[in-house]
Amino acid sequence: MLAATYYDGSSTRRHPVGLEVRDGHLLIDGNGVQRRIPVGEVDFGEAVEGAPRSISLPGGGCCEVHDNAALSHLLATAGIGESLVVRIQRRWHWALGAFIVVVASAAAAYLWGLPALAQQLAPHVPPLVARTLSDAALAQLDRGVLRPSRLPPARQEEIRRQAAALLTPQQTPPWRLHFRQAPRLGPNALALPGGDIIILDQLVELLGDERQIQAVVAHEVGHLAHHHAMRRLIQDATLSLVLAAWFGDVSSAAVATSGKLLQSGYSREAEIEADAYAASRMALRYGTVEPIVEVLKKLDKHAPAPGNSLFASHPDAATRIAAVRRLQQ
């Protein structure tokens, strides 16, 4: 019989025993220990170089075997083979193949599965939830980077009136236009998931032309129509949860970096979609998309860095201009 050490699972007492496999059963025999267990109920564990092999028994007991080679011979003689996982681990090409499958599956979920999930879920988020998120985001921005607008109230109302004439309620999602200033952000605009659109004074001053300002508002409404902000929130939240579960306490840096990369990739696609939305509205009302082209040219001159880097949130101006002009052909 094969020498082993038996633990009953209820105490730390060691029992020297002998092991034998006979008639489909594992026999354990020693001083004060006699057990006969069907092999189907026994977990024979995995051999680890330099360590005893642990055999898990039903009821919480276990046996430790120091002679791994002898145990492997005993199991082989009894017709008990190693598990598929163990066999794969011992063959480097199988292990490499399994690793590649895991990486490919994770990449597919990251690049296609997560965006598809967000695209399906975003339109079904209750309006009250989206509005609550927007109110909280706007309040946080007002406490941080945003300051009250210096545009005269009459000028703000004129921009709202012209934008409303371009974007009729029957054709657009609900939206509300706010004006703020933020010198650190430069000429910019953004749309929050609940329908709030923020236009910065610096952007109004840079553009000047009324049709160009309308094009910007239409672009931001395009983000709302495609639920881009809500999709990004769903993507970021899902990614954070998955990485937190995977990496635990060390996931903070991974979440920040991966979330930024993911957000950048989707934002480039979102900008093209929002451009197309604005172009369709401008072409319908004015018969031209040139105001959008002029906006992109002006913003490109004020861009802090080229728009085609890994962390860029917008595609380069030339790509966007070409896409907009193709819509009018």
Q: Which residues contact 59 (CB under 8 A, 6 or more apart)?
A: 9
Find out if CATH 2.30.29 is the number for domain 2-89.
Answer: yes
The percentage of residues in the chain with a pLDDT greater than 90, rounded to a whole number, is: 41
**Residue ranges in the chain whose pLDDT is less than 50:** 250-251, 253-255, 257-266, 305-312
For the entire predicted model, the pTM comes to 0.67
| Lookup result for tokens 């598990």 | 83
Q: Which residues contact 317 (CB under 8 A, 6 or more apart)?
A: 296, 297, 299, 300, 303, 307
Q: Which residues contact 256 (CB under 8 A, 6 or more apart)?
A: none
Question: How many other C-beta atoms lie within 10 A of the C-beta of residue 36?
Answer: 11
pLDDT at 111: 77
pLDDT tens-digit map of 255-277: 454 444 444 444 778 889 999 99
pLDDT at 83: 62
The amino acid occupying position 265 is: G
Q: Which residues contact 258 (CB under 8 A, 6 or more apart)?
A: 239, 243
pLDDT at 243: 67
Decide if 63 contacts 5 (C-beta within 8 A).
Answer: yes
pLDDT at 308: 39
Q: How far is CA 117 from CA 120, 123, 223, 227, 258, in A?
A: 5, 11, 18, 13, 17
In this structure, what is the dihedral angle of CA atoms 274, 278, 284, 289, given to the nearest 10 degrees? -110
Q: What is the domain partition of the chain in residue ranges? A: 2-89, 119-328
Decide if 7 contacts 62 (C-beta within 8 A).
Answer: yes
Q: How far apart are CA 23 and CA 37, in angstroms?
A: 11
Residues recorded for the chain: 329
Decide if 102 contacts 166 (C-beta within 8 A).
Answer: no
Opening angle at CA 64, ends 60 and 69, nearest 5: 135
| Lookup result for tokens 């949130």 | 313
pLDDT at 186: 86
Q: How far apart are CA 101 and CA 95, in angstroms?
A: 10
- Nearest residue to 66 via CA among 45, 39, 86: 45
pLDDT at 106: 82
Host H or E run for residue 314: none
Opening angle at CA 37, ends 31 and 41, nearest 5: 135
Sheet bearing 176-181, strands edge to edge? 147-148, 176-181, 196-200, 189-191
pLDDT at 82: 67
